[in-house]
Amino acid sequence: MTEAVEPDFDVIVVGAGPAGSVTAYRLAQQGLSVVLIERGEAPGAKNLSGGVLYGRVLDQVFPGFADEAPVERRITRHVTTFLTPDSAVSLDYRSERLAEPVNAVTVLRARFDPWLASKAEEAGVFLMAGVRVDALLTEPGPDGSPRVVGVRAGEDELRARVVVAADGVNSFLARDLGLRRTEPTHHLAVGVKTVLRLPRAVIEDRFGLTGDEGAAHAVVGDCTLGIGGGGFLYTNTESLSLGVVLRLDDLVRSGRTAIEVFEHFLEHPGLAPYVRDAQVQEYGSHLVAEGGAAMVGTLATHGMVVVGEAAGLTINSGLTVRGMDLAIGSAIAAADAIVEAVAAGDTTATGLAGYRRRLEASFVLQDLATYARAPKFLERPGMYGAYGELAADVFRRVFGLDTTPRRHLIGVARQALKKSPVTVRQLVSDGWAGVRAL
Ligand SMILES: Cc1cc2nc3c(=O)[nH]c(=O)nc-3n(C[C@H](O)[C@H](O)[C@H](O)COP(=O)(O)OP(=O)(O)OC[C@H]3O[C@@H](n4cnc5c(N)ncnc54)[C@H](O)[C@@H]3O)c2cc1C
């Protein structure tokens, strides 16, 4: 298909997060001319730092990336904790097998995103940082619906055969074309996050780590004052990333502010010893997509594809929060589909349909399908209060030897259950739902 006006580039990628930079890199590597537009003064400047990147998919793009990229620590310890006001019940998994081949690493986005974008530049991508895309340029498509032919940024217009919307959770590009609807509030969460500086030796002592080993703590219960969501605490080389992610509908219902909950988490006796004497390095707040499979909109239209969180590609399974690896997986699929479409001279929705096909064949849409029930399961109220209390009560009875005669574990559990607002029926129902969702 020939365009009326000769395009300036084969592809315009909007947003230099993991999705945008990897798409741009793959496209340039395969010989296409690409511009990568980022509104932040530098890639990563607008992204909240800190997070666990499940890195195997990035290894496919940059083999051995963890030895070259500015990654912080290799996660060898995952701790999941139920917090109550005065106790903590944890599942603590650590294994050196998680370090090699590298499974998950912590990254600080202010360092990691510029590295990814620099790889794209080395491959020939033209990076325009500090430029905000304001609108899509469209013309009537083959079936009368709009065909994207470029973008407008301020006074400037740029044209391309394909535009890639990699503009994150709020993606106005996808919304503008009606590819994503306005999300219900239970599909969104607000994240409040900080990076706290601590000497390397102190981090290693407090978390029982050596060398570049790292720990990832996921916390539920009293850390969010019972509001749907959770807290996290990740170790970087010389800092900690920690914060809370709060389901928007539940936060509004609670009448509390996200900052109030975040401060409660920071001062919680279960967490305070880890962050003692740490200095605040940065602080911010950001929306997170939480709807899972139900949130994924239309992925391709005439002249445009949507990648990463702009397409709603995130998974919160309760145990892991994933967005960056899915963003990278979608970038690989999108780039390969665009190369195919440009070569065939058809960049309409039909020509770009290979993007969805590739995503369906990859872990991205398959994992979203596997965890499709997780968001609904995580809306069940007992998750953030009663179950933590119940578990803590069982362990208090097991370890609190007060000279009364001991009972077998099953008797202890029955006693604790009798005192708890959780009914046997609810336990069975939630247990079954959990098995199917997670
Ligand atoms: C508190 C919190 C904790 C999280 N923890 C984790 C975690 O531990 N592990 C994990 O994998 N994921 C985590 N996530 C999710 C993860 O951050 C996202 O899923 C991931 O960053 C998505 O990548 P992306 O490239 O699609 O979008 P983004 O990283 O959001 O990048 C979008 C880019 O587009 C730019 N942009 C937006 N609009 C425009 C415009 N109009 N013009 C030009 N540029 C524009 C932005 O400045 C940004 O750089 C977390 C998110 C939050 C908020």
Task: Indicate whether 2 pLDDT > 60.
Answer: no
Which residues line ligand 1 at a C-beta cut-off of 6 Å?
A: 14-20, 37-40, 46-48, 51-53, 132-133, 166-168, 191, 193, 243, 245, 286, 288, 308-310, 314, 321-325, 327
Q: Are residues 357 and 326 in the same domain?
A: yes
Q: Are residues 390 and 251 in the same domain?
A: no
- The count of structural domains within the chain is 3
Task: Indicate whether 3 pLDDT > 60.
Answer: no
pLDDT tens digits along 380-429: 878 888 998 999 999 999 999 989 999 999 999 999 999 999 998 999 99
pLDDT tens digits along 100-152: 888 999 999 999 999 999 999 999 999 999 999 999 999 999 899 999 999 99
Q: Are residues 243 and 336 in the same domain?
A: no
Cis peptide before 101 (omega within 30 of 0): yes
In a domain, 280, yes or no: yes
Instruction: Give the residue, by CA position, lying nearest to ligand 1 atom 21.
Output: 324
- The rounded mean pLDDT for the chain is 93
How far does the centroid of ligand 1 lie from the alpha carbon of residue 17, in Å? 6
What pLDDT shows up at residue 238?
Answer: 97
Q: Are residues 317 and 204 in the same domain?
A: no
**0.85 surpassed by pTM:** yes
pLDDT tens digits along 323-371: 999 999 999 999 999 999 999 999 999 999 999 999 999 999 999 999 9
397: which residues sit within 8 A by CB, 6+ positions away? 412, 415, 416
Rounded to whole angstroms, the Cα distance separating 435 from 431 reads: 6
Domain boundary among 251, 274, 289: 289
What pLDDT shows up at residue 25?
Answer: 98
Rounded to whole angstroms, the Cα distance separating 346 from 357 reads: 16
In a domain, 80, yes or no: no
In a domain, 319, yes or no: yes
Q: Are residues 155 and 282 in the same domain?
A: no
What pLDDT shows up at residue 4?
Answer: 62
Q: Are residues 236 and 301 in the same domain?
A: no
Q: How far is CA 224 from CA 70, 219, 247, 384, in A?
A: 31, 9, 10, 8
In a domain, 82, yes or no: no
Mean pLDDT of 204-229: 94
pLDDT tens digits along 207-216: 999 999 999 9
**Burial of 249: CB neighbours in 10 Å, binned 0-12, 13-18, 19+:** middle
- H or E, element range at 68: helix 65-68
Mean pLDDT of 67-72: 96
Q: Of ligand 1's atoms, which has the minimum distance to the CA of residue 311?
A: 26
Q: Are residues 245 and 329 in the same domain?
A: no
Q: To test the ligand 1 pocket, which listed residue (137, 156, 167) has its Cβ within 8 A of the most ligand atoms?
A: 167
pLDDT tens digits along 311-333: 999 998 877 889 999 999 999 99
Query: What's the CATH number where 196 sits?
Result: 3.30.9.90
In a domain, 76, yes or no: no
What pLDDT shows up at residue 290?
Answer: 85
Range of the domain at 402: 385-437
Q: Of ligand 1's atoms, which has the minimum distance to the CA of residue 310?
A: 26
In a domain, 97, yes or no: no
